[in-house]
Amino acid sequence: MSQGKSFRLRAVACAVIVGAFAGFLAVPASAADEGKVPYWASIDADLANLRVGPGESYKIDWVYRREHLPVKVIRREGPWRLVEDPDGTQGWMRDLLLSRTRSAMVRSKGVIEMHAEPRGSSPMLWRIEPGVVGLLGECKEGWCPFDIAGHKGFVEQEDLWGAGTL
């Protein structure tokens, strides 16, 4: 084989390898984040608009002013997420306004107790009213670590919206 043919063959092989590698890099960043729905998320902004459709041109239905409010993401469409809030209201929100940080809302008929350990017989630390939102740890055996503005303890999973598995 002559040097010219050998060089061309190597150049073509190199181009094929580079082209194949570039094809892997061409995957959009949002595709790398694609996961299965539904999943839990939380509002990651002081102000978040919930729209009637997936786009800026759609009417704003609700304005949320509650950072860390848990939401259930039930559908994806480009950069938009169809979410459901703790009251069951559904609408579209930009992905940039959401975080995968888990949070939960107290959803009980009355005041619940936060305990020092994950069992009802452990010392009670705080009483928590319905509607209070906190950051959620990994729930085990019906108890969840719960952090409300630095007040940490354990609460029963059944009293929290956003603590279940999807």
Establish whether the linkage from the previous residue to 79 is cis, with ω within 30° of 0: no
CA 161, CA 166: separation in Å to the nearest integer? 12
Strands 80-84 and 103-106: unpaired
Q: Is the pLDDT of residue 109 over 80?
A: yes
104-161 CATH fold: SH3 type barrels. (2.30.30)
Instruction: Locate the DSSP E strands across 3-79.
Output: 39-43, 48-51, 60-64, 70-77
Strand partners for 106: 160
Assigned token pair, 11 = 């150049």
Residue type, 68: H
What digits encode the pLDDT tens for the residues 111-147?
999 999 999 999 999 999 999 999 999 999 999 999 9
**CB–CB of 65/46 below 8 Å?**
yes
What digits encode the pLDDT tens for the residues 55-97?
999 999 999 999 999 999 999 999 999 999 999 999 999 999 9
Whole-model pTM?
0.78
What pLDDT band is residue 35 in, cutting at 50, 70 and 90? confident
Domains 35-101 and 104-161 share a fold: yes
The SS3 of residue 5 is helix
CATH of 35-101, one of 3.40.190.10, 2.30.30.40, 1.10.3430.10, 3.20.20.140: 2.30.30.40
